[in-house]
Amino acid sequence: MAAAAATAKSTPRRTLAEVVGVGAAMALLVLVPREESGRMVKAQADPVTSTVTVRHVSGPQHLKAYLDIVGVATACDGITRGVRIGQTYTEAQCAALLERELVAHAEPVLACTPWLRGEGREGPRVAAVSLAYNIGVHGFCRSTAARRFSAGDWRGGCDAFLMWTKAGGREVRGLRLRRERERAECLQGINSSKGDGK
């Protein structure tokens, strides 16, 4: 039992680029900070190490924990796991937390909707991980979008993103606009790939 635990601890974590691909990782590491906190970053890939680094360009950096729209302690770019009001973070800590959380969302999203792994499906993959980052993995994997993707209705899966526009039981303009952008990203990937479904 102890040997299994030691092996599990020594297994290196996969990078976001290894999980979703370098292009999708770069897109997510730019998209999520813009959607979550309104900040602009530049992403740069290292093809040798399969890593993507981000550099803050402009906009707010939430280096101190705050309460989000529904009262959840949040920091950095929408990080909620383990965050308590009053905590502060460095830019490097926020970048590491963002990558960790994106990997933690991307792996189960790709497991519950394997179609998204396919070549030429970067747009839907990016959009699905972004949606899951915002609504949670369980929310995404049980969603109409995931069911439609699994049934081969790619376009319908993208359209189903628009069902997720509420917070605390009320329609939120910012969420509606975010879902419209995610849907557009998703459809762009569908329209540009071969065998684009229904």
Which residue segments constitute the domains of the chain, with CATH numbers given? 11-191 (1.10.530.40)
- Residue 193 is given by DSSP the state S
Per-residue pLDDT tens digits for 103-161: 999 999 999 999 999 888 999 999 999 999 999 999 999 999 999 999 999 999 999 99
Is the model's pTM score more than 0.85? yes
- Phi/psi region, residue 50 (left: phi>0; alpha: psi -120 to 50; beta: rest), is left
- Residue 88 is given by DSSP the state B
Confidence of residue 12 (pLDDT cuts 50, 70, 90): low
Q: Tell me how far apart the alpha carbons of residues 61 and 39 are, in angstroms, rounded to a whole number.
A: 7
Give which of 70, 69, 66, 42 is closest to 56, Cα–Cα.
42
Q: Tell me how far apart the alpha carbons of residues 99 and 145 are, in angstroms, rounded to a whole number.
A: 24
Torsion of CA 70, 108, 23, 41, to 10 degrees: 20
Q: Tell me how far apart the alpha carbons of residues 190 and 153 are, in angstroms, rounded to a whole number.
A: 10
At 47 the pLDDT is 76
Rg (CA), the chain: 17
Q: Which two tokens mark 4?
A: 């299994």
Per-residue pLDDT tens digits for 70-110: 999 999 999 999 999 999 999 999 999 999 999 999 999 99
Q: Residue 64 forms beta bridges with which residues?
A: 88
Q: Tell me how far apart the alpha carbons of residues 37 and 82 are, in angstroms, rounded to a whole number.
A: 18
